[in-house]
């Protein structure tokens, strides 16, 4: 059995594996699995157990089993790739965190609109590498000047962005790949 944190980590690993897969069929399958896991995580709430006699909604386990069996379509929050084919990195943001990003930062209009249009509750927002970099810069600046309720929320967002940027930097080469010069008999000076 996986707890929610482990399932969240699994979704991140699946999305990363999909982004780096060279085989299109494998990439497609990994994308579908990571989106389904993200959809399950979005629907789960940490509500207390209902009292006897109260109406209950399907729990996390039932929802997960339904997903595995293939029962019904799922509403997915974001695609794994942008319309332009760029890689997207899913980040889970709460509603107060999205409100803080909208109110206390100077993000570009398109990104703010996407944050505003996200349904209430915790949502997974797909961000391209450029958006992650730009958001990290804007949030880093805004953390210093934001009022107290926004400040804590922006610090939590910054922590998530730093984790993502650290993971991305580990996968990037330190120097561009260069090909060596073929050894020749003649030397020019």
pLDDT given for residue 169 in this prediction: 77
% the chain with pLDDT above 90: 5
Quick one: tokens of 85?
A: 């084919």
Domain count, the chain: 2
Tell me whether residue 189 is in a domain: no
Statement to judge: residues 15 and 101 lie in one domain: no
Tell me whether residue 188 is in a domain: no
pLDDT given for residue 178 in this prediction: 59
Dihedral, CA atoms, 114, 119, 123, 124, nearest 10 degrees? -40
Statement to judge: residues 28 and 90 lie in one domain: no
pLDDT given for residue 67 in this prediction: 56
pLDDT given for residue 72 in this prediction: 42
pLDDT given for residue 84 in this prediction: 64
pLDDT band at 71 (very low <50, low <70, confident <90, very high): very low
Statement to judge: residues 35 and 65 lie in one domain: yes
Is pLDDT at 183 greater than 60 in this prediction? Answer: yes
Mean per-residue pLDDT, 10-16: 79
Statement to judge: residues 161 and 89 lie in one domain: yes
Burial class (CB in 10 A: 0-12, 13-18, 19+), 61: exposed
Between 88 and 39, name the one with better pLDDT: 88
Q: Which residues of 72-108 are buried (b: 16+ CB within 10 A; e: fewer)?
A: eebeebbebbeeeeebbbbbbbeeebbbbbeebbebe
Range of the domain at 151: 77-171
For the chain, the average pLDDT equals 75
Tens digit of each residue's pLDDT (9 = 90 or more) over 19-68: 888 888 888 888 788 777 777 777 664 545 555 555 444 555 665 555 55
Is pLDDT at 120 greater than 70 in this prediction? Answer: yes
Token pair 């109260």: residue:
54
């Amino acid at each position: 059995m996986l707890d929610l944190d482990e399932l969240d980590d699994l979704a991140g690993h699946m999305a990363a594996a999909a982004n780096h897969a060279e085989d299109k069929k494998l990439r497609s399958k990994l994308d579908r699995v990571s989106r389904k896991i993200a959809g399950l995580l979005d629907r789960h709430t940490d509500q207390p157990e209902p009292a006897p006699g109260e109406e209950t909604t399907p729990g996390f386990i039932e929802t997960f089993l339904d997903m595995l069996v293939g029962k019904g379509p799922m509403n997915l929050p974001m695609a794994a790739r942008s319309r332009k084919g760029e890689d997207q990195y899913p980040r889970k943001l709460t509603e107060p965190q999205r409100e803080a990003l909208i109110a206390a930062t100077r993000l570009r209009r398109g990104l703010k609109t996407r944050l505003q249009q996200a349904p209430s509750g915790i949502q997974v927002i797909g961000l391209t590498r450029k958006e992650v970099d730009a958001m990290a810069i804007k949030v880093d600046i805004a953390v210093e000047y934001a009022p107290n309720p926004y400040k804590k929320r922006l610090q939590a967002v910054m922590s998530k962005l730093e984790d993502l940027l650290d993971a991305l930097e580990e996968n990037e080469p330190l120097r561009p790949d260069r090909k060596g010069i073929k050894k020749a008999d003649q030397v020019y000076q």
